[in-house]
Structure 1
């Protein structure tokens, strides 16, 4: 395609320049993962990052708090939660799960006039869009809410040259924007574009016509919606705009479809190169007879969402936004295979380079994290590929049954089973059903889902612990039943063949006896299965057991919750979800690869850490225990003293150097005596090893080690006796981050470390905390800075990040704390002087020379120390006089007060306790102390003046009575 005059890059750049010339600050897009907003699954609109400004909750330490005008392009995702465009993607020309939202913003600065004039100028004068194709809307009002029509906006549109026939009223749905049930809101004015032209398209505005689309929305934020639904004017009026980048580019390139623009053509070209498919022709519905164009759109859209979501930390998993990412990837994978015949396992990562090249300049996070994104995409695809064939076969079976039943409906139980057993998200199954002309029933699916959850809940309690094989049962298996030991070599395979996933049921272990069928075992009862061959890893050597499924497709499914080895026999513990299993059944063994993958990272990471510890701390370091699971690695070792920070730094550095060499990991069974001769080989002291023993070497082939086992060079290599699972190459680990070093017993130390995505997550959190410290540092001294420091102190203590990084953060933060403390002392001293000067100044005035007391509100903050200093002065230096002093203000929301009763008044029956009690009734809170003093704090700061009057009146009445 010839390069258009208005390329996507030029459109974006022009937008920035236009508003930058008008005093706007270019603000980077926030993450698509809204870490600071738990109400959102993903960032779904340009205003999300500015929400605290509109709500008035933004901290002074936030850089955004200083903005008056801003311009940006925001990465947005609408594929889950309240805003979900996933089902429409591919079917029409303008829906996307990922899109950019261009926006210009005014925070209490300019308002309607400028927003409307600039909108029209940019679209018609700068971009050169035909004004006759543009239609604008304004809010028509709502009498029930006492909202007048926004005739001001209408007149402003007329003043820039929009004919009245192109200015249309709109209701609350289309032309009144609200952040939520409560909060900032206001009328809005949309701009719509007619892609056809040469006609009056006013009647098609806001009618979901694909050829008359909204391109820009100007929101005039001027109200605050209250709990009672009433509208209260905001203290400041704001402008919040959003323009769909893809829609704007489509208009400027005169395309009927967003997908026909240069935003998507580089991705389509790459898809064609990878798949060899016919070129993209931008057809829809029945015109797209082979479904290829739809598949192009789906894949191109989905790689955008996947890359941006993963780069911002939304990695695929089974919960929340992680599940959305997984669903999108699996949906796209199925399209790629069905319509392009693509091999699943590394499909999306081959499209990724085109996206990075196209968008990497505007969004450098794509460039920085390209390798991580690729690896995560490949891992996810590979895991899904293992069940995709079987799942599609099962779907075909269900589809035939549904068609022949006459109902033409896929049952809810079948939809759920395709997810539960084969990992097919519900929306993917619905899509496949739609392709076959089958219906699905949401209610049935919900019932099946809930039934499965209830069963799982009931099972959870029952399967906390599983029965073990005792010595007599092991002997029974060996001698009486004469059951051969299983072959568990497939557990070491990383790329699976069908053979690796196939086993045969030998026996069922009920917890007390061995049986040949599950038919007499009650539902949801925990039991064990013994197979002749398995790829499941049984817990040993510090590595946790695998979880997963043992399945006969559509016949029976056993959920594996734990795997243990007893005398060489491997018991898969769990419960039967449906069906029956019996001895002789051929089953598919499917461990959870997405759980195993980080376990492999952590196990190889443990070997590398063990090697680095010896390199830095010496040969005295010996392993004393370890735990390797999907979250972390934990390593216990002998060492007499705490590992110093410089030593930790060196250990972490050496470990990561090893990781980044991307060494191949080798493993081989070797005769024990020969294996022990390998120079520097690591083994756990006191552990009994089998003969032959499995030797794992990171970087050097085991056969090479065995050629010259005493070679001193092998001392530089990580070589261990180990029966665990490991990565193919160390680069897969990505990073190793030490998050804890501690002592657990005399002479025994413990290190906890993260690898892979977990390591990247804590690095991101550390980086965010570093930004937070910088923001706090830039705040002017005052209550807000003090509060921020107080909260950050707590959060820093609880922060789980690299030990080294945390120490750096503590050093940086301690300087901020020190500066705040010094300023507090300085202010404290100044306020104490101000308070004391105010009181002593009262007594030194000529008219007050005979005064014996002072009651008053001092010109100080709610400073309890200053109040105390005043009391102590009179207590030690002017004992005859009495003072009752107050500090604080309504703005602070706190009042402090204190009393000292001089000797002259105490002899007249005046007590600090009773006097303070009278004041406390007014200001609230409590007071305490020992006669002749009393000090308190209250929350009714709006009643300080009243409290001063009450204090004066109480003393006057007390002295009158004593006279």
Structure 2
């Protein structure tokens, strides 16, 4: 019989169908960014999204709380934190930073027998794998932990036909799975596959042999690890399995490597098309003589991680998971440049369409986010490309020095400098060092890193106090020192420039050298030309560096302009600078880009405000930085939510038209004639003035400046930096509208990735409201409503969306309050009925007191109303009332001492004090009443008895 030819898509589909036929619900993969689990950098296993079920913390209203059996294919990333496979990618045939984990799950339903039986049936009967190539492991036990061998699993494997010599014991490391230091855990049973066959490979299982690999792991979750490390049996036993999709496909396609399967071949074909490289041949180590096969694997793996992480919201930056994404991109870029000899700047985005075509049906989010991913990849590559050449040259210099010295290692200072100056992550430098048979001392790197950060920290505190140029110093520069003002036209262009140091400014004097200045001294540098943006017009100053490679580096923390002279303020990282030195001027492009977004966004917002609110809108101030845009404008009344929605919608319509941004210096008198041109009232503009137009060429505006159509275009006088086209902004989200003075309003808005982040936050908050709405009424819902009220007030999302969320949530709050009132009224009646019924009984007609627990919750108001009833209508009688229960975890109590007993010396204060000693907490009030809340609900019965005995003792009955 001819063996079936499996495709990756067919393997995944068959897995789903097999378990769906056995009562499992297909659950979509969760995000690779675990937004609701701060303990994880990335989703790194299939069980992550089911963690609340295993921990018993899942809300009853969550759809997953009803799951008994589930099947899924989970997107996973292992490229940082505890689980990190990044260093192995490309070098072997089975490691990936991004992979799929197929899994089937039982939540307190079936257990070992079914899990083992189905595993063997699927692998051997459905997929048709040769049973002689499969090996299974079971937990061998651990006497120190008091754990017996899992002989049940062993016997079950035997019962399905696995030969004795293919069933192997395993230790705690390999065959006992734990979620963490505490929580659910249990023995596990792995299935390993021998890619060679025709032999007994038992001795190679769990020995890191690339041809004998683990494909599936069945975890039998039956214990709960306690804080003291002891184990308790779980009340419900669970099954948690994980099968490496890529490894399974490799086995079914009879390939020795995961990378030789159709999971990767479409990506390799695209890489070859883009680079013109030789075809992929699946060679490893020394057999991969030119390193090109390794580069194929690295690039194919990395585009998968980059695409899925960015689509799920992990954008490149210098922190946490964002830094992992940046490291991966830079590592891949260097491989592409070195081995494929391609220009970096838009390389990965050219591979992206092949991945979207291949995996978009299973994971539609990468189709939806494809354009965003492309923009981010290109932006990041461009930024790295500017320093890659210089960084590689510098690395070669350090490497040659290390080899010549016989040290065989790069110094920590060199490794840190490669990162700090050229953007080379430490693991990329480590990889390059390995290629040259050099090592890295990570402790030395840590020392260099900390030293640099301490220096930076001490100077950053001086940013606001950097010395300014006064009128006398400006005159000195101009008239005595004959220093010309710099050319700063390059600030409107992308990229680095070469410039010459003119002078060094200490804050009190101009010097020609930094050599005599103490370490970490803040000072300023004047250049003959610059690409740095000096703070003006509401746009913040650029930061960056001035570098002479391996000679000196000056960190620019602030850039200011005084009388045409531009001062780059900061401190020397190392070396010295002298007048006449040629430096490379690098502003921080990754910081500048969101500033551009926000500045162009400000122009679009200004235009939309006028269109929606009318001509009385005039700019009164603005701030444009890397995080947000802030715009102050004249308007007599607050902007309504419907108006805000129109403004936001109109702005985004402008953004989505992807209009080109035009700019030109124009004679001021001519520029003022352009119909609808925006300017800040009272601002003095230079002549000529720079005109920035969104969507229409400035030359076209000037042909017919009074054309009424120009009123529909955003045209402003502006000296700031802008995006090339509005589509780069992605979205504009207004997060705040408020009044800051009489007749002056303020809007705060986000653009780009920041806008997308708050949009995701709004969606998640909406889901939270849905869950609360579906919860049954009770203490849990009341507590959740209380906390959500606080969180909603602090939520930073679109102001329009926030109002929608508030409207939805207010309905939930009203329903809860109405139910509380309803139940309060019912409980008050129940409480009063219970006490009056007691006094109405024949045997109690002559009794003038009642001490007892009422059939109510811990309802202080119900107790208060009963006390008030007797205080006002039956003053002679005394009541000591209790509410709540140990099950509720709360207790309340209250006493009213009637006139009969108060005349005999009974006081509410003394009586309630005796009760509070038992139930904890305190009581308060004025005689003849007292109320309290206890902290020890489990002692409720004892408290009732104490109250009764205290009174009996007092009355000596």
Q: For the Cα contact (< 8 Å) 1:60–1:784, is it kept in 2?
A: no
Structure 1: distance between partners of 2:860 and 2:67: 36
Aligned residue among 674, 678, 681 for 2:674:
678
| 2:54 corresponding residue in structure 1 | 54
| Residues 642-663 of structure 1, C-alpha deviations (whole Å, 9 max, x = no match) | 1111111111111111111111
Structure 2: distance between partners of 1:353 and 1:694: 40
Shift of 1:709: 1.1
Structure 1: distance between partners of 2:460 and 2:23: 60
| 1:864 corresponding residue in structure 2 | 860
Structure 2: distance between partners of 1:5 and 1:780: 51
Correspondences of 1:644-793 after superposition (within 5 Å): 644-793=640-789
| 1:367 corresponding residue in structure 2 | 367
Determine helix, strand or coil for the equivalent of 2:519.
Answer: coil
Shift of 1:836: 2.0
**Structure 1's 4 and 731: CA in aligned 2 closer, same or farther, altered over 3 A?**
farther
Q: For the Cα contact (< 8 Å) 1:835–1:866, is it kept in 2?
A: yes
Q: TM-score, normalised by structure 2?
A: 0.99
Q: For the Cα contact (< 8 Å) 1:182–1:225, is it kept in 2?
A: yes
| 1:534 corresponding residue in structure 2 | 530
Structure 2: distance between partners of 1:27 and 1:827: 39
User: Does 1:169 find its partner at 2:169?
Assistant: yes
* Higher deviation after alignment, 797-806 or 707-716: 707-716
Aligned residue among 932, 947, 952 for 2:943:
947
Structure 1: distance between partners of 2:922 and 2:128: 69
Structure 1: distance between partners of 2:443 and 2:930: 67
Shift of 1:689: 0.5
Structure 2: distance between partners of 1:23 and 1:867: 51
| Residues 348-373 of structure 1, C-alpha deviations (whole Å, 9 max, x = no match) | 00101111111111111101110000
| Residues 422-468 of structure 1, C-alpha deviations (whole Å, 9 max, x = no match) | 00001101111111222222222222222222222222334442000
| 2:324 corresponding residue in structure 1 | 324
Q: For the Cα contact (< 8 Å) 1:627–1:634, is it kept in 2?
A: yes
* Higher deviation after alignment, 759-768 or 708-717: 708-717
Correspondences of 1:573-592 after superposition (within 5 Å): 573-592=569-588
Q: For the Cα contact (< 8 Å) 2:463–2:558, is it kept in 1?
A: no
| 1:488 corresponding residue in structure 2 | 488
| 1:34 corresponding residue in structure 2 | 34
| 1:458 corresponding residue in structure 2 | 458
Q: For the Cα contact (< 8 Å) 2:460–2:557, is it kept in 1?
A: no
Determine helix, strand or coil for the equivalent of 1:143.
Answer: coil
| 1:567 corresponding residue in structure 2 | 563
Determine helix, strand or coil for the equivalent of 1:162.
Answer: coil
| Residues 86-105 of structure 1, C-alpha deviations (whole Å, 9 max, x = no match) | 00000000000011111111
* Higher deviation after alignment, 547-556 or 220-229: 220-229
| 1:130 corresponding residue in structure 2 | 130
Structure 1: distance between partners of 2:260 and 2:334: 23
Correspondences of 1:296-375 after superposition (within 5 Å): 296-375=296-375
User: Does 1:895 find its partner at 2:891?
Assistant: yes
| 2:810 corresponding residue in structure 1 | 814
Correspondences of 1:258-269 after superposition (within 5 Å): 258-269=258-269
| 2:824 corresponding residue in structure 1 | 828
Determine helix, strand or coil for the equivalent of 2:461.
Answer: helix
Structure 2: distance between partners of 1:850 and 1:353: 90
| Residues 566-618 of structure 1, C-alpha deviations (whole Å, 9 max, x = no match) | 00000000000100101111110000000000000000000011011111111
Structure 1: distance between partners of 2:519 and 2:566: 23
Correspondences of 1:369-408 after superposition (within 5 Å): 369-408=369-408
Structure 2: distance between partners of 1:893 and 1:654: 53
Structure 2: distance between partners of 1:14 and 1:780: 39
| 2:19 corresponding residue in structure 1 | 19
Shift of 1:822: 1.2
Structure 2: distance between partners of 1:360 and 1:589: 42
Structure 1: distance between partners of 2:780 and 2:871: 34
Structure 1: distance between partners of 2:516 and 2:52: 60
How many pairs were matched up? 955
* Higher deviation after alignment, 905-914 or 748-757: 905-914
| 2:76 corresponding residue in structure 1 | 76
Q: For the Cα contact (< 8 Å) 1:187–1:220, is it kept in 2?
A: yes
| Residues 72-124 of structure 1, C-alpha deviations (whole Å, 9 max, x = no match) | 11111110111100000000000000111111111122111111111111111
Aligned residue among 606, 610, 619 for 1:623:
619
User: Does 1:907 find its partner at 2:917?
Assistant: no
Determine helix, strand or coil for the equivalent of 1:145.
Answer: coil
Shift of 1:851: 2.4
| 2:430 corresponding residue in structure 1 | 430
Shift of 1:845: 2.4
Structure 1: distance between partners of 2:112 and 2:840: 59
Aligned residue among 556, 566, 589 for 1:593:
589
Shift of 1:177: 0.6
Shift of 1:9: 1.3
Q: For the Cα contact (< 8 Å) 1:4–1:253, is it kept in 2?
A: no
Q: For the Cα contact (< 8 Å) 1:602–1:630, is it kept in 2?
A: yes
Structure 2: distance between partners of 1:510 and 1:175: 65
Q: For the Cα contact (< 8 Å) 2:502–2:526, is it kept in 1?
A: yes
Q: For the Cα contact (< 8 Å) 1:63–1:775, is it kept in 2?
A: no
Shift of 1:480: 0.9
Structure 2: distance between partners of 1:247 and 1:355: 19
Unaligned regions of 5+ residues in structure 2, if any? none
| Residues 341-398 of structure 1, C-alpha deviations (whole Å, 9 max, x = no match) | 1110000001011111111111111011100000000000000000000001111111
Q: For the Cα contact (< 8 Å) 1:462–1:525, is it kept in 2?
A: no
| 1:419 corresponding residue in structure 2 | 419
Determine helix, strand or coil for the equivalent of 2:677.
Answer: coil
User: Does 1:804 find its partner at 2:800?
Assistant: yes
* Higher deviation after alignment, 448-457 or 275-284: 448-457
User: Does 1:443 find its partner at 2:439?
Assistant: no
| 1:931 corresponding residue in structure 2 | 927
Determine helix, strand or coil for the equivalent of 1:737.
Answer: strand
Determine helix, strand or coil for the equivalent of 1:828.
Answer: helix
| Residues 107-154 of structure 1, C-alpha deviations (whole Å, 9 max, x = no match) | 122111111111111111221111111111111111111111111111
Shift of 1:324: 0.5
Unaligned regions of 5+ residues in structure 1, if any? none
Q: For the Cα contact (< 8 Å) 2:184–2:221, is it kept in 1?
A: yes
Structure 2: distance between partners of 1:54 and 1:326: 33
| 1:636 corresponding residue in structure 2 | 632
| Residues 197-221 of structure 1, C-alpha deviations (whole Å, 9 max, x = no match) | 1111111111111111111111111
Structure 2: distance between partners of 1:40 and 1:345: 31
Structure 2: distance between partners of 1:665 and 1:264: 40
* Higher deviation after alignment, 790-799 or 226-235: 226-235
Q: For the Cα contact (< 8 Å) 2:491–2:532, is it kept in 1?
A: yes
Structure 1: distance between partners of 2:887 and 2:549: 68
| 2:179 corresponding residue in structure 1 | 179
Shift of 1:235: 2.0
| 2:953 corresponding residue in structure 1 | 957
Structure 1: distance between partners of 2:887 and 2:462: 57
Q: For the Cα contact (< 8 Å) 1:413–1:448, is it kept in 2?
A: yes
Shift of 1:816: 1.0
Q: For the Cα contact (< 8 Å) 1:739–1:801, is it kept in 2?
A: yes
Q: For the Cα contact (< 8 Å) 2:222–2:233, is it kept in 1?
A: yes
Q: For the Cα contact (< 8 Å) 2:553–2:575, is it kept in 1?
A: yes
